[in-house]
Amino acid sequence: MSQNTAQVNLKKLKPYGDIMNDGTVQLCFTLPVEPSPEAREAAIQLCEKMGYDQIKVATMEKAANGFSLFVIYGNLKHTVDFTQIHVVKVDAQKRSREEIDELIKTRIGRKLVVIGACTGFDAHTVGIDAIMNMKGFAGDYGLERYQWLDARNLGAQVLNDELLKRAVAENADAVLVSKVVTQHNIHMRDMKDLMNRARQMGLMERMIFVSGGPRVTHPLALECGFDAGFGVGTRPSDVASYIVEEFLRRRDLALLDEGAGTAPAAATVSVPAPVKRSKLAKSPIKKAASRLVGKSRIAKRPKTRASSKR
């Protein structure tokens, strides 16, 4: 395998099947015609138009009345220049649950409140549950299991107004939004509506907004006004790592703006934890940073009525 890897031409990258650069791909699709020699030939011609040669029809079966299912192998002619690919993605160092807890404990000194929900009329909780619930996803524990995160899963069909009001009431540091239903781009409309409301309420600097779902990407989330977006395969620790880094980044920038000196460049540098954040402050992170000047003690986060019940 190491010899094959050494032969990879990143300037002309193509699929790997049996040998390097053979371009072998397996295709599976359905044609709305009965199985027949004509249907087989139609499938082959479609594959040729897609850019495949050496096409082999592995199977042609009747899927239903008037439908044929094909499994086909072919060699792709086209290549891509891997060295010229640039993707807008979430820039956060991957950390374990223990590392994240320790980072929050030493550099922030209080629990971060994270509220999550599946918004609008979307009733699918599989995504938000995978990130928030204690059991997590794929062996990666959910945010509820973190000692220094106060994770609150509101479930499904939460309206945008309700989510934002709850976030304000709970004095949330981060808001997670899961979007599963995407017909007619309803997920984008809901996401943009949420962020417009958040902007009108003055919450953009107060909270970190993160979205996720099977058709959510980081560029799409940015387009809708979110701070970050996560797609299929995201682990809870990916989201937690980003939230902590973004919180610290904003706080360090606030320290610079207040003339408190140079912000630390690495996460290992100790910074005094911020004092309590005001619910109605225009920029609570900046306000907390200004209070750090001349004060060395760490103040605990005040309990809200909702948090005291937990």
**Predicted local distance difference test score (pLDDT) of residue 308:** 41
- The region of weakest confidence among 5-9, 101-105, 143-147 is 5-9
Per-residue pLDDT tens digits for 221-242: 999 999 999 999 999 999 999 9
**For residue 132, what is the enclosing H or E element?**
helix 126-132
> Given strand 67-76, what is the order of strands in its sheet?
24-31, 67-76, 52-64
CA distance 60 to 71: 7
Between CA 132 and CA 187 the distance in angstroms is 20
CATH architecture of the domain 97-292 equals: 3-Layer(aba) Sandwich (3.40)
Whether 183 has a pLDDT exceeding 90, the answer reads no
- Structure tokens belonging to residue 167: 């976030």
**More confident position, 270 or 145:** 145
Residues belonging to the active site:
135
State the CATH class of domain 2-82. alpha beta
Domain with CATH 3.30.30.60 in the chain: 2-82
Place of tokens 């940015």: 222
pTM (2 d.p.): 0.71
Burial 82-120 (b: 16+ CB within 10 A, else e): eeeeeeeebebeebebebbbebbeebbbbbbbbbbbbbb
From the list 105, 277, 265, the residue with the least C-alpha distance to 174 is 277
Mean pLDDT throughout 49-55?
Answer: 96
Q: Hey, which of 14-28, 36-50, 273-287 has the most confident mean pLDDT?
A: 36-50
- Domain ranges in the chain with CATH number 3.40.50.280: 97-292
Angle at 232 between CA 227 and CA 235, to 5 degrees: 75
* Model pLDDT for residues 252-310, shown as the tens digit of each residue: 888 887 775 444 444 443 333 433 333 333 444 444 444 444 443 334 444 444 444 43
Q: Where would I find the beta strands (DSSP E) of 32-164?
A: 52-64, 67-76, 112-118, 149-153
